[in-house]
Amino acid sequence: MKNFKKMICAALCLAMVFALCACGSQTNDKAKKTDENDNSRIANPVHESSAEEFKAAGIVMPEIDGKTPVYTTIDGDETLYQADYGTFTIRAQKTDEQKDISGMSYEWTEDPTMTLELLQGNPLFKLDGKGAGIVYWYLNGSSWSVGMTEGASVDTLKSLYFKTAELNPGGDGFLSN
């Protein structure tokens, strides 16, 4: 009799476990369906892009040996175009004046500002003294930036600036087509 009661008790416990599992999975299914159909979520402002889409907008990113950039656009008042090369990122955006669009919020300890009339767009170079650095410039209605989180030097940034600026002299800036 004791064994019979134990078997009944075990069977009831198993039945309750299965019932709880079944209820839990139905709740998860409903939650998934609600999330899939929920239009109140904020849309992702970052979109995959391509070199062809950048060129159609009048933007040409440099070809760097051994580097294949990942092209993205970021929604905003004006679209921000970004090419991530792994060790550095180049960005471009139509703006009314020169501004830092690098997205790098570092405390810059060095500001080796270069104002050479031979360089287009008045490029400004900033380093943090720990390997991060940016150069940004304004040319024909567009702000540009090259940002590095490590290995940055004025010479490296200047080289990337020249490679980018040479390809994008523009008449009225990109997006002028």
Q: How does pLDDT run across 100-148, given as a tens digit for each residue? A: 999 998 888 866 665 554 566 788 889 998 999 999 998 878 899 999 9
Claim to verify: residue 30 and residue 61 sit in the same structural domain: no
The total number of structural domains in the chain stands at 2
Residue 146 φ/ψ, nearest 5 degrees = -125, 125
Claim to verify: residue 8 and residue 77 sit in the same structural domain: no
Claim to verify: residue 73 and residue 33 sit in the same structural domain: no
128 within domain boundaries: yes
Claim to verify: residue 33 and residue 55 sit in the same structural domain: no
68 within domain boundaries: yes
Q: What is the pTM of this model?
A: 0.70
83 within domain boundaries: yes
Locate tokens 């079944």: which residue?
22
Claim to verify: residue 14 and residue 92 sit in the same structural domain: no
17 within domain boundaries: yes
Claim to verify: residue 37 and residue 57 sit in the same structural domain: no
Tens digits of per-residue pLDDT, 140-160?
788 999 999 999 998 999 999
Tens digits of per-residue pLDDT, 31-42?
555 455 556 777
Claim to verify: residue 59 and residue 89 sit in the same structural domain: yes
* Edge-first strand listing for the sheet containing 142-148: 46-48, 70-74, 80-84, 89-94, 142-148, 133-139, 124-127
